């Protein structure tokens, strides 16, 4: 295969030759000879076809956005010596090389082995493939080339970054018969003191109130407020109209990050968590406990991409038929349309506790435009419309109007218990 340099030299030579013949100019004809001689010399030493064996190793195949992974690529030449070899380890555009290089030019003797090391940092969640390896052997003059593809691929799974909600009081108000961390109105297993009663045979010795027993010369036992668990259903609005911002910083990606943080926080409190994703299809994860449920939710969130135009009323239909009626519903949406008000009112009418976590699209867009008088005027008008919508939603639900530039725990912490007890 000829390289672009060879094609350019041939075109120059033909142009000079034809121009010289047309103009009957022998000096111009002679100018075509050097490129033709150069091309003839290059054809005498054709490059061999690369015969490489590649092995790629990653120090980890699962990481989160912003962290780094080291890639080690080991190449062995099983064919003839390669004097000029170009090697490229293709990467998707979401993986940025932070150290080393995935593109190099080197020479390899027969049976020689070389190792390339570089680090990548993902900018967006998802499942990515590295490879296959591409190699090109060039002749000394760079006029001929032989390409080869080494079918060596590696997969890399990138999880979204997680919002830390360690100090946020986030959990269901209505409990179910399972033990958990949510205080209930019934006496049972828990840590909050309720009262004192007379000792009954079979009571745990650790619950005996020795001070009261010594005072009244009879055994008394402590009673505690029972702690149960409840259900939380996270609804993520990932419709096409919600993707406001850049490909890496938009309301959908921020919502994914918030959904993962809410799921981790609620599951750590021994509550059940379910997930509904509204995109080009309605995707959901039934409520369950534990770390495995967090991984199920994470696997669904990794593949979330903005798309579809499903109205929120479809989510209401799925929620009322496949999820518990006494669950806390956490809607994560930028609230870009007025129809969200009707959907929230429908959920409240069905008896759900509804809490809305809204990454503000106005703040996202404001950082993307130059600060001008016109932009500031438009921002104030849109802000008044948004505040009006939020005020109407707060009649039936808790609403967190969140500036994504700040940690999510801050607005949640200011609100106290979320939702507030009845």
Higher-confidence residue of 224 and 63: namely 63
**Are residues 240 and 197 located together in one domain of the fold?**
no
Higher-confidence residue of 421 and 349: namely 349
- Tens-place pLDDT, residues 41-59: 666 667 788 889 999 999 9
| Residue where a domain terminates, one of 229, 261, 290 | 229
Comparing 8-17, 127-136, 385-394, the range with the smallest average pLDDT is: 8-17
pLDDT of residue 421: 46
Q: Label residue 179 by pLDDT band (50, 70, 90).
A: very low
- Tens-place pLDDT, residues 300-354: 999 888 887 777 777 888 888 888 878 888 999 888 877 778 888 888 888 888 8
Interatomic CA distance for residues 75 and 58, integer angstroms? 15
Mean pLDDT throughout 106-116? 91
pLDDT above 80: residue 7 = no
**Are residues 74 and 121 located together in one domain of the fold?**
yes
Provide the b/e sequence for 130-149 (b: ≥16 CB within 10 Å).
bbebbbbbbbebebbbbeee
pLDDT above 50: residue 418 = no
Residue 265 covered by a domain: yes
The whole-angstrom distance between residue 42's C-alpha and the CA centroid of its chain comes to 50
Interatomic CA distance for residues 191 and 54, integer angstroms? 59
Higher-confidence residue of 7 and 411: namely 411
Q: In what order do the strands lie in the sheet with 62-64?
A: 62-64, 154-159, 126-130
Rounded-to-10 torsion of CA 345, 403, 337, 305: -100
Q: Label residue 204 by pLDDT band (50, 70, 90).
A: confident
**Are residues 121 and 212 located together in one domain of the fold?**
no
**Does residue 383 contact residue 362 with C-beta atoms inside 8 Å?**
yes
| Residue where a domain terminates, one of 229, 256, 290 | 229
- Tens-place pLDDT, residues 17-31: 788 778 777 777 777
Q: Label residue 146 by pLDDT band (50, 70, 90).
A: confident
pLDDT above 60: residue 153 = yes
Secondary structure of 288-300 as H, E, C letters: ECHHHHHHHHHHH
> What range does the domain containing 73 cover?
52-159
Comparing 6-20, 141-155, 181-195, 212-226, the range with the smallest average pLDDT is: 181-195
- Strands 103-108 vs 145-150: parallel, antiparallel or unpaired: unpaired
Residue 271 covered by a domain: yes
**Does residue 254 contact residue 162 with C-beta atoms inside 8 Å?**
no
Q: Label residue 163 by pLDDT band (50, 70, 90).
A: confident
**Are residues 71 and 100 located together in one domain of the fold?**
yes
Residue 241 covered by a domain: yes
Q: Label residue 137 by pLDDT band (50, 70, 90).
A: confident
Higher-confidence residue of 347 and 75: namely 75
Residue 421 covered by a domain: no
Residue 244 covered by a domain: yes
Q: Label residue 155 by pLDDT band (50, 70, 90).
A: very high
**Are residues 110 and 23 located together in one domain of the fold?**
no
**Are residues 155 and 36 located together in one domain of the fold?**
no
**Are residues 70 and 35 located together in one domain of the fold?**
no
Q: Label residue 70 by pLDDT band (50, 70, 90).
A: very high
pLDDT of residue 244: 86
pLDDT above 90: residue 122 = yes
pLDDT of residue 336: 83
**Are residues 224 and 243 located together in one domain of the fold?**
no
**Are residues 219 and 271 located together in one domain of the fold?**
no
CATH for 397: 3.40.50.410
Residue 164 covered by a domain: no
- Tens-place pLDDT, residues 79-99: 888 888 889 999 999 999 999
pLDDT above 70: residue 269 = yes
Residue 84 covered by a domain: yes
Q: Label residue 180 by pLDDT band (50, 70, 90).
A: very low
pLDDT of residue 228: 60
**Are residues 191 and 224 located together in one domain of the fold?**
yes
**Are residues 260 and 364 located together in one domain of the fold?**
yes
Q: Label residue 422 by pLDDT band (50, 70, 90).
A: very low
Average pLDDT of the chain to the nearest whole number:
82
**Does residue 397 contact residue 356 with C-beta atoms inside 8 Å?**
yes
Query: Domains in the chain: how many in total?
Result: 4
Residue 340 covered by a domain: yes
Q: What percent of the chain has pLDDT over 90?
A: 20
Q: Label residue 229 by pLDDT band (50, 70, 90).
A: low
**Does residue 268 contact residue 351 with C-beta atoms inside 8 Å?**
no
pLDDT of residue 186: 47
Q: What percent of the chain has pLDDT over 70?
A: 85
**Are residues 235 and 344 located together in one domain of the fold?**
yes
């Amino acid at each position: 295969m000829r390289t672009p340099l060879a094609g350019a030299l041939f075109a120059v030579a033909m142009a000079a030759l034809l121009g010289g013949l047309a103009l009957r100019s022998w000096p111009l004809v002679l100018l075509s000879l050097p490129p033709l001689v150069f091309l003839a010399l290059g054809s005498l030493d054709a490059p061999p076809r690369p015969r490489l064996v590649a092995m790629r190793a990653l120090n980890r195949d699962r990481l989160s956005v912003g962290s780094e992974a080291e890639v080690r690529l080991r190449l062995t030449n099983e064919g003839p010596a390669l004097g000029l070899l170009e090697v490229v380890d293709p990467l998707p555009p979401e993986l940025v090389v932070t150290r080393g290089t995935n593109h190099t030019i080197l020479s390899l003797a027969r049976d020689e082995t070389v190792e390339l090391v570089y680090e990548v940092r993902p900018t967006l969640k998802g499942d990515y493939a590295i490879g296959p390896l591409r190699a090109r052997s060039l002749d000394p003059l760079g006029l001929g080339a032989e390409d080869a593809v080494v079918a060596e691929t590696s997969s890399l799974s990138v999880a979204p970054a997680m919002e830390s909600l360690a100090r946020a009081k986030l959990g269901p108000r209505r409990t179910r018969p399972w033990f958990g961390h949510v205080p209930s109105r019934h006496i049972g297993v828990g840590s909050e003191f309720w009262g004192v009663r007379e000792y009954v045979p079979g009571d745990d010795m650790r619950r005996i109130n020795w001070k009261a027993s010594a005072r009244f010369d009879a055994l008394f036992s402590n009673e505690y407020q029972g702690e149960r668990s409840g259900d939380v259903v996270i609804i993520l609005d990932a419709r096409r109209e919600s993707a406001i911002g850049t490909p890496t910083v938009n309301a959908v990606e921020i919502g994914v990050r918030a959904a993962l943080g809410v799921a981790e926080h609620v599951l750590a409190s021994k509550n059940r968590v379910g997930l509904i994703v509204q995109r080009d299809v309605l995707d959901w994860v039934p409520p369950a406990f534990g770390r495995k449920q967090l991984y199920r939710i994470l696997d669904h969130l990794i593949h979330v991409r903005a798309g579809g135009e499903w109205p929120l009323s479809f989510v209401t239909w799925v929620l009322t038929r496949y999820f518990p009626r006494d669950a806390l519903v956490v809607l994560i949406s930028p609230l870009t349309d007025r129809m969200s008000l009707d959907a929230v009112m429908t959920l409240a009418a069905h008896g759900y506790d509804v809490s809305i976590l809204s990454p503000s699209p106005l703040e996202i867009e404001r950082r993307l435009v130059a600060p001008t008088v016109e932009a500031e005027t438009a921002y104030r008008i849109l802000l008044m419309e948004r505040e009006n919508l939020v005020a109407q939603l707060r009649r039936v639900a808790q609403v967190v109007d969140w500036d994504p530039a700040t940690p999510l725990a801050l607005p949640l912490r200011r609100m106290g218990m979320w939702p507030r007890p009845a």
